[in-house]
Structure 1
Amino acid sequence: MQPLIWESRPDGLRAPALVCAFTGWNDAGDAASAALRFFGASLGATRFAQIDPEEFFDFQATRPRVEMVDGETREIQWPSVEIYEARIPRAPRDLVLLSGPEPSFRWRTFTRLIVDLAEALGTQMVVSLGALLADVPHSRPVGITGLSSDPTLIEGHELAPTTYEGPTGIVGILQAACSDAGIPSASLWASVPHYVAAAPNPKAALALVRKLESLVGVSVDAEELEVASADYERQVSLAVQSDPDVQAFVERLERTAAEEEEETDPTELPSGDVIAREFQRFLRQRGPEGPDIAGGR
């Protein structure tokens, strides 16, 4: 059986961008996977294909689940990578969304499969989302770093370039595979406070959503994620205040972050005109009665 299982063929996609996120090593605080799920849900994305897990996953590390169906039948749910389409008539492009666990085996074969999919769909760019643990305070704006095979993709998007060297995950391998294939690609990474690594981080997910909106030219209503982000920051602040040692550590991180912000060139910040254009684009895409998108499934 072929590893890519088509359920339907998404014909007529307009200048599509392929956006990918994987759970696991690349997904601190579940931020990247949560950002992609939120984007898909907001746009009414529908699944059209999936990648069979047999060749790519260690089922002792990423175990299948047993679930009850109709309260009577037990059904095996295998880990899989799912692929969705989101059509947004008022936006300049449509999206293809790919999400699932980071594979255990055959990364070169796996990324070649994704590259082949991108080429078959006429994808104009591939964007991968990731999140990493860092010495950053939860109370400051989330830092987003960017890496791109095409510098013009991240110019004007207020992205700090990454200088990371070391072990990489499937996101890094996919970035290299797209570059080798000549497909414009970018990778967005959110910094997640390491002292709350175990908790889902909607604040980092929101930062990825906002940066992804800017990069692909597609806007979503993120009010729900904004509320979750504010609740997260409030709850973490309360927890930090209950431990003097942790509070002192976080205050040191905040001072360091403040010093770095003071050194930032004000001309690098987005202008009022840029902010206004982004807001107008969002209103156009929503239309008079909300988003005009294909129904979800």
Structure 2
Amino acid sequence: MSENDRMYELEYPAPGIGDGIGGVPLVIALQGYADAGQGVQQASQHLLQALEHNPVATFDVDALIDYRSRRPGVTIDRSRLTGSEDLSLTLHRLEDSAGHPFLLLEGPEPDLRWNAFSRAVTELSTSLRVDRSVALYAAPMTVPHTRPLVVSAHASDPTLVADLQRWESRMIIPGSAALRTELSLSSAGVDTVGLTAHVPHYIAASDYPEAAYGLLHAVEQVGDLELPLRALQTDMEKVRSQLAEQVEESGEIGTVVAALERQYDEEMARMRRRRENSLLAPGENVPSGEELGAEFERFLAGMSGDSDSEGSDGDAGTDPSTGTGDPTDGDRDA
């Protein structure tokens, strides 16, 4: 029995995963690391509530969770202990609205044994024929709630997220179990995508269903799935109405939101200008200095060849009909 086998327990009998022909997508929704507005948690809960699901494997949270840093809630009802929050980390099988199967790994992010956990998820993914994983994140950003929510994407293959906003610079960010799992899956040949919802920083501690909606809408795009999102749209409208009331009642909040709107609009305009002025095709990389030099040399060589050819055709000493001699030589001899 391997270390990975001891980390999780497979359900028996195992639910059927797919049709045995193509691969299945895996959605990774680990809560606790980057979950501003509870976007990741709400996204996974919505999927489980809206779609039929069956457990495939259950991880041993005692081996992965530090209870002192993530203390489960305990209920005391009239001086009597009545229950405790149940922490679970589970891999589920679901079917989307069109009947296509996919997997969902949801629960608290492991505090311990990230390497062993990522190997276990990779082992399960290989055995279940996962061909693409989509990890969900939500980060607090200096953006206003009055503008469209932005979802940034990264991927093992940039063409997978060509239609989404991508990170433009090189960054070093704090690691997480989900990010470690992405790297492990990519090394095993699985296409990996990470989606990050940009949540207004002043709402990061509250439920923000717009983040869950934005993440799941992007999952539909990159995972080729059809998901029921109408209930989230209803929740979004309620929160938007509440936020509008708060902005209207507080001049200070309104001033902050207006400043964020200006900043957002300027950044979007800059990005539009950058795309319009780009000479590169979508997904095309900037060529290296060596590639530019080689292309310039080929251009000059072509110009040189064209010049020689034009000079030969226009030379007064060449007879176009024969390619040699002077067409006036015969007249002079005569």
Answering whether residue 40 of structure 2 is matched by residue 36 of structure 1, we say no
CA gap of 1:265–1:55, structure 2 versus 1, over 3 A, is: same
Q: Trace 1:109-258 onto structure 2 (pairs within 5 A).
A: 109-155=116-162, 157-161=163-167, 163=169, 164-258=171-265
Give the letter for the 2:8 counterpart.
L
What residue number does 1:281 align with?
A: none
1:19 maps to what in 2?
A: 27
**Given the superposition, is the C-alpha separation of residues 35 and 89 from structure 1 closer, same or farther in structure 2, using an over 3 Å criterion?**
closer
Is 130-139 or 43-52 further displaced after alignment?
A: 43-52
Contact 2:153/2:164 (CA < 8 Å) preserved in 1? no
Determine what percentage of the aligned residue pairs are the same residue: 26
* 1:147–1:162 contact (8 Å) kept in structure 2: no
Larger radius of gyration: 2
Q: Does the 8 A contact of 2:134 with 2:195 survive in 1?
A: yes
Distance 2:263 2:131 in 1: 39
Q: Which amino acid aligns with 2:164?
A: E
Partner of residue 114 from structure 2, selected from 107, 115, 125: 107
Q: How has the CA–CA distance of structure 1 residues 262 and 89 changed in structure 2, closer, same or farther, with 3 Å as cutoff? A: closer
Q: How much does 1:20 deviate?
A: 0.7
Aligned length: 264
Shift of 1:253: 0.6
Tell me which amino acid in the other structure corresponds to 1:6: L
Residue pair 1:26, 1:171 contacting (<8 A) in 2 also: no
Distance, in Å, in 1 between the alignment partners of 2:96 and 2:257 is 41
Q: State the TM-score, normalizing by the size of structure 1.
A: 0.81
Alpha carbons of 1:55 and 1:254: their partners in 2 closer, same or farther (altered >3 Å)? same
The answer to which structure, 1 or 2, has the higher relative contact order (CA under 8 A, 6+ apart) is: 1
The corresponding residue for 1:295 is none
Q: Distance in 2 between matches of 1:232 and 1:241?
A: 14
Letter in 1 for 2:6: Q
Could you tell me how far 1:30 is from its partner in structure 2?
0.6
Distance 1:205 1:266, change over 3 A: farther
| Amino acid aligned to 1:82 | T
Residue 254 of structure 1 deviates from its aligned partner by: 0.5
Does 2:62 align with 1:61?
Answer: no
1:3 to 7, 12, 24: 7
- Conserved 8 A contact 1:146-1:162: no
Deviates more, 1:74-83 or 1:205-214: 74-83
Give the Cα separation in 1 of the matches to 2:214 and 2:26: 19
Q: Which amino acid is 1:4 matched to?
A: Y
218-227 or 255-264, which moves further after superposition?
Answer: 255-264
Q: Equivalent residue of 1:30, what SS?
A: helix
Change (3 A) 1:195 1:262: same
TM-score (norm 2): 0.72
- For the 8 Å contact 2:29–2:136, the answer to whether it is kept is yes
Q: Deviations over 1:142-170 (max 9, x none)?
A: 11010111223212x32323644221322
Conservation of the 8 A alpha-carbon contact between 1:140 and 1:254: yes
Deviation at 1:137, TM superposition (A): 0.4
The answer to whether the 8 A contact 2:92-2:105 is kept is: yes
Q: CA deviation at 1:75?
A: 5.6
Instruction: Return the offset for 1:89.
Output: 8.2
Shift of 1:251: 0.5
Q: Quick one: distance in 1 between partners of 2:124 and 2:168? A: 27
Question: Which amino acid in 2 is paired with 1:123?
Answer: V
5+ residue gaps, structure 2, are: 277-334
